[in-house]
Structure 1
Amino acid sequence: MPQLKTFAVLGMLSLGTLGLTALPSAAKAQETQHDPAPSAESRNEGETFTEDEVYQAASAFFGDAAQGLAEVIRNVFAEYGEPNAYIAGQEGGGAITVGLRYGSGELVMKNGTRQDVYWQGPSIGWDVGGNASKVFTLVYNLPNGDTIYQRFPGVEGSGYFIGGLGVNYQQRGDIVLAPIRAGVGLRLGANVGYLNYSRERRWFPL
């Protein structure tokens, strides 16, 4: 009989111990169930500009020259989605087969970064005309503000015109730029070239 009582006591202690050790696991499981890890969509939320945000900013920037802007932005968004930065600026240039382009503006990132940026570059091809334009450039996949300061080749055959606006694409690695231009004397033609974006103004285009 004493042995039976001893086994009974030990059994009760064992069950109690198992119950105590099971409680934290159950609580942890319950906590995990109610607090899931954030999804990729929630992590990316707020890191890019929506189509409406871009349209409002570009419309205010272009003013009366914004005819056809909604369609331009819609096409760019259909191609590349939401940008995480944009550049608002102005440029001038001209071409007779060989052309030059100079510009300046402000880079605005969704994370709040703002900094000055300049650009210059040559082009060659069937390209005749001159221009003085406002430029609103959508910027995709820019890791940080400093990575804008490099050379971006033009994407051949990407240019098109809608209303009074012209659009073409530039790309280096994963970073894509989509300059939307409006102004006097939009240059017509198919050209290949690049723009070199820099911290300071440079007159030498290469």
Structure 2
Amino acid sequence: MRSVHHRTHPPFNGTHRKLGAALLAAVLALGIGGCASNPPASDSANAAPATSAPNASNSAAADSSGYDKYETTNEAVNFLGGSAEAVAKLMDKAFAEYGRPNAYIKGEEGGGAFVFGVRYGKGELVTKSGFKTTVYWQGPSVGWDFGADAGKVFILVYNLPQPDLIYQRFAGVNGSLYFVGGLGMNYLRSQDIVVAPIRVGVGMRLGASVGYMQFTKDHSYIPF
């Protein structure tokens, strides 16, 4: 009879068990580390973009670039000393038509006219940025413009890019005045810059006169 030899395998001893356990632990550690370092793509995809908020802040910055109606009205009432209701109505009209002014002038002027007249004024220009300087203005007024006026004037200034640009001529129709409670307001323009004087004092301007305001750094008696 042929003898049958059975092949024997070496026993699975403790060394093999330890090696297998170590390999399993290493695999598990790599898997857990990979999950921690790679967050789900859906979280980053659903995150709000960083540029979504600046639109609101830009709008707020634009709105704050000029004086608001409340502070402007208070400033005018305290300076002019006229009717608060009348000043508020003129401010409502100016803000409705031109928005927020980025500067104003507080000053005094005097003048008189019969067909041909002249006005002189001196005041302080105050910008929203806090810049202040003394300004003078002169101007003729031609038309049926009876009376003499002398008193305080509060001038709203719109779209003034820099203070030095106030020193120029602003043309307008002086007869197109808005009268409320003894106060009068009209508009004068030079390109994009608009000035809106609010006057109170002695005398009333009548009719459709035509004139301009010339702002200067120094006092001048020449209105032209």
Distance apart, 1:180 and its partner CA:
0.3
CA contact (8 A) 2:87 2:183 kept: yes
RMSD of equivalent CA atoms:
2.4
Instruction: Tell me which moved more, 121-130 or 134-143.
Output: 121-130
C-alpha distance in 2 between matches for 1:43 and 1:136? 26
SS of residue paired to 1:82: coil
Are residue 33 (structure 1) and residue 50 (structure 2) matched?
Answer: yes
Distance apart, 1:65 and its partner CA:
5.4
Gap regions ≥5 residues in structure 1: 1-15
Distance apart, 1:30 and its partner CA:
5.2
TM-score (norm 1): 0.81
CA contact (8 A) 1:65 1:182 kept: no
SS of residue paired to 1:124: strand
CA contact (8 A) 2:146 2:204 kept: no
Gap regions ≥5 residues in structure 2: 1-33
SS of residue paired to 2:196: strand
Distance apart, 1:92 and its partner CA:
0.3
C-alpha distance in 1 between matches for 2:118 and 2:84? 25
SS of residue paired to 1:189: coil
User: Runs ≥4 in structure 1, deviation > 6 angstroms?
Assistant: none
Are residue 177 (structure 1) and residue 192 (structure 2) matched?
Answer: no
TM-score (norm 2): 0.75
Which residue of the partner structure matches residue 68 of structure 1?
A: 86
C-alpha distance in 1 between matches for 2:50 and 2:121? 54
C-alpha distance in 2 between matches for 1:133 and 1:189? 20
C-alpha distance in 2 between matches for 1:178 and 1:192? 15
User: How many residues of Structure 1 are paired with residues of Structure 2 in the alignment?
Assistant: 185
CA contact (8 A) 1:155 1:171 kept: no
Aligned partner of 1:188 among 189, 206, 224: 206
| Greater Rg by CA | 2
Structure 1 vs Structure 2: percent identity of aligned residues? 49
Q: 1:96 to 1:34 in 2, by over 3 A?
A: closer
Which residue of the partner structure matches residue 153 of structure 2?
A: 135
CA contact (8 A) 1:133 1:186 kept: no
